[in-house]
Chain A
Amino acid sequence: MSSTSQPGDLFAALPETDEDAQRRLHARLTAAAAEAGILDVAYRTVDSPLGPLLLAATDQGLVRVAWALEDHDRVLAQLADRISPRVLRAPARLDRAAREIEEYLERRRTAFDLPLDLRLAAGFRRTVLTHLAEIGYGSTVSYGQLAVAAGSPRAVRAVGTACATNPLPLVLPCHRVVRRDGSPGQYVGGTEVKRALLGLEAAA
C-alpha cells in the first residue's frame, strides 16, 4: 500500500475521546431510554460515610442495594444476567432512594418510604425479607426469632442465608438481625458496617 493511502495524523484534530460530549450524549441516551420504556435497570452510586453504595431500580422500584464488599461490577453483571442487560447509569430514577438513605445515615430518618422490587428473592428467602421490614428502628431480633416470625422456627440457618443474600440491605434491615448472644454476627456489607449501623440507630 502506498504511503499516501495511510491517514497518518490526518485525524489528529478529531478528538479520540471528548468527555464533555460523552457526558451530554449519555444523559440524552438515558432520558430517551426511560421515555421509550427500555431503561430496564437504572443505577447510581452514593458515597456514604460507610463506603460507596450501589443503588439500582427497575421501573417497579428499588431492586438492589450493594455495599462495596459485594463488588459493584459483579453486582451489575448479575443484574444484567438476572433482570436485563439494558443496564445504564441513570441517577434520576434513584434520586428519592439516595435522598432517603442519606437522611437515614445522618439520623434524620428512621424508616424508608420507597417502592421496592423484590424480584431477586423468591420462596422462603422472600418471606424472610418481608418480615425484616417489621423490625423497628433501633431494635434487634435474633436469627431464631426471625425464623419463628417467618413461620419456620427450625429454619434458623435458612434465615441466615436469606439475610446474607438480601438484595436490599439497609432498606430491608437485615443488620437488625443478630446472634442469640447479642453479638452482631455476619453482614453482607461486612461486620464493621453492621456494627456501625447498630451503633448509629442506638445513638438516636
Chain B
Amino acid sequence: MSREPFEKIVARHGPVVLRVCRAVLGPGGADDAWSETFLAALRAYPTLRPDSNVEGWLVTIAHRKALDQLRAEARRAVPAGDLPERPSRDGVPGGWESDLWAALRALPPKQRMTVAYHHLAGLPYAEVAELVGGTPEAARRAAADGIAALRRSYLTNQEDVS
C-alpha cells in the first residue's frame, strides 16, 4: 500500500482548500485555517486509507478548523459590524477581500459553508450535509439561498459599478 509524497497532495489540493478557507473565513482567518489543516493532514497522512477521497478528507479537516475559529470569534463576541475593514491586499478596489468577502460575511455561516463546500470544493450535497448537519436536501436549500443572496448583494453591486 503506497501513498504518494505529501508534497503532491499540497500541490494538487492546496489551492482549492485555500479558496474554501477564504470563502468561509475571509482574508483574516484563511491562512491560519489552511496551515492548521495541512499540518493536521500531514500528521494523519500515513494512516489515511490509500483509496480515500483526499480532497474530501482535506475539506473535512478544514471545516473543523473553520468551526474552531468561528467559535473562538463568537467567544470574543465582537459584533461583526465592528470588525476593522481590511485593505485589499492586492491593492485592487473591489477584489475578493473587500466586496466578495463583505457579501459572504453577511451570510449565515451554514450558508457560507454549504456554498463553499459544494460550489468551490465540489462536494456532493450528501457529503456537505455530513459536515454541516441536517439532510442533503437542507444543504442544497442552504446553498441555493446563499447563492441567491450573493447574487442580490454582490452581483447587483458589481453591475451598478460597471
Contact = CB atoms under 8 A, between A and B. Distances in A.
Interface of A: 1-2, 4-7, 10-11, 13-18, 21-22, 24-26, 28-29, 32-33, 36, 38, 41, 43, 76-77, 79-81, 84-89
Contact of A32 (B4, B7, B35, B94): B35
Interface residues of B, number: 38
Contact of A10 (B5, B14, B39, B147): B147
Given A4-B147, A89-B7, A33 B39 contact: yes
Contacts of B38: 25, 29
Interface in B135-162: 143-144, 147-148, 150-151, 154-155
A86 B150 CA distance: 40
B97 to A, nearest CB: 9
Nearest to B23: A14
7 contacts: A6-B147, A22-B18, A25-B38, A36-B39, A38-B42, A86-B42, A86-B46
B6 A86 contact: yes
Given A2-B144, A33-B42, A85-B3, 20 more contacts: A4-B151, A5-B148, A7-B115, A11-B96, A13-B100, A18-B18, A25-B18, A28-B31, A29-B10, A29-B42, A32-B35, A38-B39, A38-B42, A77-B5, A85-B2, A85-B5, A85-B6, A85-B46, A86-B46, A88-B5
Contacts, number: 110
Contacts of B143: 5
B99 A13 contact: yes
B95 interface: yes
A32 B35 CA distance: 9
A36 B42 CA distance: 11
A14 B115 CA distance: 14
